[in-house]
Structure formats: structure tokens, C-alpha cells
Amino acid sequence: MSLFIDTFPVLVAFENLDLLENLQIAKKSLDGLSGIYGVVHTPTGTSYIGSSSDLGLRIMNHIQGHSSNLHLQGAILKYGLSSFVFVILQYCNSSDLLKLEQYFLDILFSLSANFRYNFNPTADSRFGATHTPESKAQMSDSQQLVDRSGANNPMYGKVPASAFKSGANHTMYGKVPNHAMTVNVYSLENKLVRSFPSQVAAAEWLGVSNFTVHNYINSGKVWKQTYTFRKSS
């Protein structure tokens, strides 16, 4: 998992999707939003990267096995849904999906084949379909939209306001998606220091990635000999 975190800027992560409540909240949080996502096998960091104009619908497609990647579906059947997290790499307008997906696919395909479920390195490719010169030119513009350095991306660790331009009336407009988790930070004396509505918020306060918080929650280890983390629904 550490390779994925070190390589890609994770904005939001939805975990424990084998639990119906968590899945419903993830879908509601993402309904109507467009962007680039990943489905990541937590133990290994092997991932599938795609894009969608409706991330809420897309997460359900993958979990239900509709219009999903066969390699990914085989892995979910083998390891169980609880071993995977659904992550958002970047929110964007629908018109930018193709070039941003291609950008992240280029990074994914620069890694060993063992770390990817994607079969095809071409964004939105369907059974060998080719792209026009215009669409290829659009893909080449992706570097202007994403900083390849990962943590240096100005959107790293936060949900951009532009993510919600698709609908100001959306219930999550201008808010960090709430995925059924409160993160409580405790001192070594077991005193509550602060509570956060999400891993993202806790990570932003600490200046780390949300998966750092995630890992410390799961392991129970002490962060920099200062804090421990616990989550509650």
C-alpha cells in the first residue's frame, strides 16, 4: 500500500465497503461528482485506476461487477471486498476526465505490472479503439492540471471547491465528504486532544497523508511518541 500512497495523491479514501452502511455513505458522498479514482488492494498496493462523471454510480458498478475490470473483479472475489479501498485521486470537470485519467495511467503503467489491475494503458480505451489526434493532444495537456510530484500537489489532502462545480445544489457542495468516521486524537495520558469528522481532516491537521492516519488507527501505534488515534462511527 505504501507504494501507492507514495506515488499518487490520495484526496479521500473509503474503506470497509463490505459493510452496507459504509458503502451507502460512500455512494451518497460521491453521487454526481466527476473525477479520477482508484480501487486499491490494501495489503499489496495493487490498484485499478479509472475515471467517471458519476463516482457514486461507478463505485457501485465495481462492487456489483457491472462494467467493471475483470482482473479487479477476480481479485475482489479472491481477497474479499474488505481488503480494498476506493480512493479519489482528483476531482475535475467531466470535460477533463480523459486527459487526467491518461495522466494517472501513465504513472501507473510506469510501475511494475504486479501493481496494476488495468489491462489497457490508454484512457477510455474500449477493445482496441483508437483516439483521434485531437483527443491525444488533450491527453498531453494533463501535466498542466496535475503536479506529478504527488504530495506537492496543492490539492493533496483536501477536497477542492472545484470538485463540486457540477452542482451547487448537491448536498455535499463545498464540504469534505463524510464517510461515517470520527477520528479522535488522544494524548499518551489517554486524554482526548481533538476530534475530526474524517481521516482527511485529521491528516490535514497533522500535515500527513490520510493513509498515515489510517495506518496508525489500524495498528494502534503511537504517532511520534505523542498521539494515538481511534475512530468511531
Which parts of 57-191 are beta strand (E)? 84-91, 182-187
> Domain residues of the chain, as ranges?
2-164, 182-232
Express each pLDDT in 56-80 by its tens digit. 999 998 888 777 888 898 998 899 9
192 phi/psi in degrees, rounded to 5: -65, 120
The x, y and z cell numbers of residue 171, run together, are: 448536498
Strand partners of residue 91: 35
Is CATH 3.40.50.1000 the classification given to domain 2-164? no
Express each pLDDT in 37-52 by its tens digit. 999 999 999 999 999 9
Cα–Cα dist 177/161, whole Å:
12
The SS3 call for residue 73 is helix
Cα–Cα dist 145/162, whole Å:
13
Express each pLDDT in 223-233 by its tens digit. 888 899 887 75
